[in-house]
Each structure stands twice: as structure tokens, then as C-alpha cells.
Amino acid sequence: MRRGPEFGVTVPNFVTGEQLADGARRTMILLTLTIWNRGQTPIAPSVFDLDVNMKGRWIRFDRSLIPDEAKFQGERQQILASISPASDLQRFKGLITREQPAYGYLMFVTDRVARDQLQQVGRIPIRITCKDAFDRNHRFQLILRGQRVDADTEYPQHGLVIKPTAPKRESI
């Protein structure tokens, strides 16, 4: 067993889209995740960062706090959840230990990658960095795999249900 921290991330779901704020549109990615630590030394996270590899180049997305009354909706899926600032891991103030992982969401935005570019990539290499309270960086790299949602996807531990949206019909 490793004495120091061993940072890791599991991402069971992610949503890409656009953030509309102050009249500006920015590409957004919302991650549902579990942050774990297999080492003996606890991690006290300060902030989390996201880098996305697009065509061989790492692009840093900007951190974004999940706002009060955030609405997540899409053309292909309807997202029903109690995604609130309380579940935003950028606001997490506890310790991540072997016995106590952290569960929640992280939201990142950018104007350096178009939403369509991000959605067309089937495999998205990402790197999540946790800067801890001692200014040390803990990195974990993984690949997100995009797929079309054709059935309800439930994440009860997060209070999240994703349903495919039926095509709109014209009234008779």
C-alpha cells in the first residue's frame, strides 16, 4: 500500500453543451464523478482543473462553479437532477481518504473549443488535476467515451436520471 496519496477519478457520466452567461456562449462539460484516494495520506482538495486533449494538444478548460438554479437541458436528452451548488466538488472542503471518497459534479467551460468539436469526438482524453491545500498537484488521466443515450440512465447516489427526449410532434 502506498504511504502518500494516490489520487484517482471515476466518471460514470458526462454532459457536454453550452453555458449561457451574461449573453456569452461557452462550451461546457459537466462531469458526474467519484474522486478517490488509494494512499494512506489524505488529500485536502483546494481546486480541480480539467485539461482536454484535442488533436494532440492539451487545452485547459476554465473552472466554473455550478450556479444556483442551474438548468441542464438538451435536444437529445432531458436531464432531471438536483444538481446544486452543494454537490459541486469545487466547493468541497473535506478530506479524500481511502475510506471516504468524494461524490458530485464538476463543471468546466471554454471558448477555445466549439461544442460541436467536443461532441463529434467519440473518445475524449482528459486530465483532471486536484491542487491540494498544500499547493501540490495530483493528476489523473482517463478517456471519456461519448455515446448516444437511448434509454433512461439512472445514478441514484447522485439523484440523477437522464432520459432520451422524444422528437417533438406537430399538433394536429
For 115-153, give the secondary structure using H, E and C: HHHHHHCCEEEEEEEEEECCCCEEEEEEEEECCCCCCCE
DSSP conformational letter for 75: S
More confident position, 48 or 147: 48
Q: How many helices (H) and strands (E) does the chain have?
A: 1, 10
Average pLDDT for 150-161: 54
Segments making up each domain of the chain, as ranges: 7-164
Q: Residue 15: is its pLDDT beyond 50?
A: yes
pLDDT for residue 93: 93
Q: Are 127 and 141 in contact (CB under 8 A)?
A: yes
Sign of CA dihedral 120, 123, 125, 131: positive
Q: What is the mean pLDDT of the chain?
A: 81
pLDDT at position 152: 53
Cα separation, 104 vs 158, in Å, equals 7
Per DSSP, the three-state class of 109 is strand
Tell me which fold the domain 7-164 belongs to.
Answer: Immunoglobulin-like (2.60.40)
Number of Cα atoms under 13 Å in the Cβ half of residue 92: 26
Structure confidence by residue, pLDDT tens digits, 18-67 = 887 778 889 999 999 999 999 999 999 999 999 999 989 999 999 999 87
The answer for 133, left when phi > 0, alpha when psi is -120 to 50, beta otherwise, is: alpha
Does 105 have pLDDT greater than 90? yes
User: What cell does 51 get?
Assistant: 485539461
The CA distance from 63 to 75, in Å, is 25
Q: How confident is residue 73, by pLDDT bands cut at 50, 70 and 90?
A: low
The dihedral sign for the CA sequence 9, 122, 162, 113: positive
